[in-house]
Structure 1
């Protein structure tokens, strides 16, 4: 066996990728938010959240490698590095970045060929959805909300998946901002002015409440609210920068967009 043999996955996406590559035996600990694949929750101890981790429990697992995501996990990474654990913090934010992440993680565990084949499979799935979207009679404007208080718009890979699925993100300029605080809507009235046809909510683990969104001051005039086009996409399916977003997440968006595009045009 080449590469690290005892891996702690501090977020969900490395667990999903390693299971997909058949390298799950290397995993000794996972994030408590992990839901994919379901068997991972039964088989592996849960030792971290997203912004915190059980450092002593992780060290007890004798890991030789830990994998996390973004600057938000910098403190966890620092604590592990100080105790001699090698840490890889990825920081990918795009669809291409997710595909590259699959390949890089595969190479790290000596499964480069399988990882490349998996990435190709994911890419082909996206291409098929994009091809189907070109046949739709019209494209909706889509507002994606990552959090509600304060409202936070969607990150780059989400905006890209909306486009692949046949829609157009109404805040493309904000999607380029990697940090959530840079995507906070100081003026929620801007959503009213951009008039989305569809509103998608994925509130980072808590249930999306379309009735609360529709009741916001002035939002009744938004086409999506007027026509009842408010939908939840579960955060494990779209807000992780891993395979789930490129399969289940984009499929959810594509279905919603397809149904909207085939609706009779309001008079």
Structure 2
């Protein structure tokens, strides 16, 4: 952590508002939670942040007056979907940083960026190195399997939206194969909408993983879709939920718990094929 024993002020922003959960989780992991003065109302990682920090935003909008009153020297958000919120905050005279990471590599890059802002480069590199080693170990284990499960990951149900890039990449690391790899590179959700409701069934996924972006996944509804009864995942009861806070936040959670859950599902499926 930055040395303050000499009485020199800690470098970097001192009062940070985090508009999304992944920045809050990362700053806590770095031991820099004292800098956080406001968080997203969707924050659940770490759970204690909800008791320790005021909740001042949703995802698409926030309490502008309350955020301004906190006198932040930096507001950090994520994605083009927060552009309107960022615009309001900038017009209110605040410094705003909005990142737009979409891949695993970009997530690591963003973690480094935020760590650099608070003077925690060494701590960040230690965490990232350990995380990347774990990814390598998981991928090496999965490479020994005789067959990789085909995975349909559903980010939303109406309309059906398939996996964003970092989720698709994590499926690959975990030992699976995304059945919609051609859509994964599309950064906008609207460009990953599956128009033909039978197309996922035609691609015959062995596993169906739902993470409906904040609402509970309903596997029975998926299994009951017209024309899906012969899908291997439906036939074998392989429909599973990973909570969106563990996989759809482009930060530490996805790289650790989200990947671990994907790997558990893929490994269990693979073991059953032996």
Question: 1:28: how far off?
Answer: 0.1
Question: 1:12: how far off?
Answer: 0.4
Question: 1:135: how far off?
Answer: 2.3
Distance 1:158 1:235 in 2: 11
Question: 1:121: how far off?
Answer: 1.7
Q: Tell me how many residue pairs correspond in the alignment.
A: 265
Question: 1:120: how far off?
Answer: 1.2
User: Partner residue of 2:72?
Assistant: 63
User: Partner residue of 1:165?
Assistant: 174
User: Partner residue of 2:138?
Assistant: 129
* Runs of 4+ with >6 A deviation: none
Are 1:181 and 2:190 an aligned pair?
yes
Are 1:204 and 2:230 an aligned pair?
no
Are 1:53 and 2:62 an aligned pair?
yes
CA-to-partner distance for each residue in 1:19-58, whole Å, 9 max, x for gaps? 0111111000000111111111110000011111111110
Distance 1:188 1:92 in 2: 29
**SS state at 2:272 partner:** coil
User: Partner residue of 2:163?
Assistant: 154
Distance 1:117 1:101 in 2: 15
Contact kept in structure 2, 1:139 and 1:261, CA below 8 Å: yes
Question: 1:115: how far off?
Answer: 1.3
Are 1:80 and 2:107 an aligned pair?
no
CA-to-partner distance for each residue in 1:65-103, whole Å, 9 max, x for gaps? 000001100111111111111110000101111111111
Distance 2:218 2:88 in 1: 37
Are 1:14 and 2:14 an aligned pair?
no
Give the TM-score normalised by the residue count of structure 1: 0.97
CA-to-partner distance for each residue in 1:83-140, whole Å, 9 max, x for gaps? 1111100001011111111111000111111112121122112112112212223101
User: Partner residue of 1:30?
Assistant: 39
Distance 1:59 1:131 in 2: 48
Distance 1:15 1:126 in 2: 23
Residue ranges of structure 1 left out of the alignment (5+ in a row): none
User: Which moves more between the two structures, 151-160 or 113-122?
Assistant: 113-122
Question: 1:187: how far off?
Answer: 0.5
Distance 1:229 1:189 in 2: 18
User: Partner residue of 1:192?
Assistant: 201
CA-to-partner distance for each residue in 1:158-177, whole Å, 9 max, x for gaps? 00000001010000010000
User: Partner residue of 1:90?
Assistant: 99
Distance 2:130 2:48 in 1: 22
**SS state at 1:142 partner:** strand
Structure 2 residue aligned with 1:118, among 113, 127, 133? Answer: 127
CA-to-partner distance for each residue in 1:210-253, whole Å, 9 max, x for gaps? 11000000000111111111000011000000010010001001
Contact kept in structure 2, 1:137 and 1:262, CA below 8 Å: no
Contact kept in structure 2, 1:122 and 1:243, CA below 8 Å: no
What is the CA RMSD across the aligned residues, in angstroms? 0.9
Residue ranges of structure 2 left out of the alignment (5+ in a row): 1-9
